[in-house]
Structure 1
């Protein structure tokens, strides 16, 4: 239906209150229907509606109050970045997962500044999408490695400035951040405490001049710190 549709009046009912509610924003009807159908088979996730352009996404997000918005970058009436900025201005706690097939360094850096929590390839598998949706509600930042590699390749010839010096441990934490792991997961993988891991994250953000993990990963990719073979 043009302009978006929803399958619930207010995005909440007694049976779904503890499940992660998701608004799908995509102007490709087949993709949107396949994704919402897949979500209906997940016991901890459920779709509250679908929007197909910028205006309907903003309107439905305000009405349905989803936990997570799965947002395609290419939309009618603008783009997913514009829609995300408007949604987050009204509801900053909303977690937005951006889908794109043609990433750029500028796009990822803009996303980091906007507050988008995940960047994923639209042509990825269902599993590639479902886990970040689950992690998004917990505040985990995720950028799929394939998008980082693509953006890094596009900008390799343009890189300017010198990369800051990171310690070996900071580089290990940075690479795990780029893979989308949480601080707790990183701490376990590195056999350190979560508090110690948070200290490394703070140091990385300071050295890269970043305000979030997503921005740090995007900046590190631009500077060539992550390379092509993580």
Structure 2
């Protein structure tokens, strides 16, 4: 893969989005899949106002690279080899004050969007969208706005302002079954056997339960469900 150009200012000030100066918006890509990262880099660098200045493969690398490069925007994959990207937002913003963070995810929910906002992120874009949506999202967050894929922002605002429905209201009957089995201490393999579905299907059910409850782990999902009366 072609090497990514990098710049290292001697004493970098907090990043500010370019405006009338004609400078390009600098971007740090945090993505561990080569093909995805290269497609995003090409899409950014082919524009007149966006420029990728670095790429990180993990949360650990992203923290060091953000502090060194001080990009205007970090485009952050949610799932990385050493952790959840959303959980790294606070540390990234501390490492590079003024940098704004735009999260990418394969599957998003209003709960996830709310979690991004609470952590200090500026947006959540679905990977299923096109590269133009990502380009526009980078421009928006660089300008101090927020960028969320369609359908995520209103639900996130409802959750953050307390207007959302009761926790678990969006769970499907199968997802409620999955939650009950999680509460019984079963893992995805055992849940798949109980429900008569393949292991990957069971894992998908578990993941959707976690995302809809806004939980980061199976244990947290069960604890939240018990607290909210979804499990006895």
TM-score normalised to structure 2 length: 0.58
Give the structure 1 partner of residue 83 of structure 2. 78
Deviation at 1:71, TM superposition (A): 0.6
Deviation at 1:90, TM superposition (A): 2.7
| Structure 2 residue corresponding to 1:129, chosen from 134, 137, 160 | 134
**SS of the counterpart of 1:87?**
helix
Matches within 5 A, 1:130-209: 130-147=135-152, 159-160=165-166
Give the structure 2 partner of residue 26 of structure 1. 31
Give the structure 2 partner of residue 47 of structure 1. 52
User: Structure 1 residues 151 and 125 mapped into 2: Cα distance closer, same or farther (>3 Å)?
Assistant: same
Deviation per residue, 1:157-213 (Å, 9 max, x gap): x9229xxxxxxxxxxxxxxxxxxxxxxxxxxxxxxxxxxxxxxxxxxxxxxxxxxxx
TM-score normalised to structure 1 length: 0.58
Count of matched residue positions in the alignment of Structure 1 and Structure 2: 150
Runs (5+) with no aligned partner, structure 1: 153-157, 162-230
User: Structure 1 residues 151 and 114 mapped into 2: Cα distance closer, same or farther (>3 Å)?
Assistant: closer
**SS of the counterpart of 1:70?**
strand
- Superposition RMSD in Å: 2.8
Specify the structure having the higher radius of gyration (Cα).
2
Runs (5+) with no aligned partner, structure 2: 11-20, 158-163, 168-232
- Does the aligned pair in 1 maintain the 2:110–2:152 contact within 8 Å? no
User: In the alignment, is residue 62 of structure 1 matched against residue 67 of structure 2?
Assistant: yes
**SS of the counterpart of 2:51?**
strand
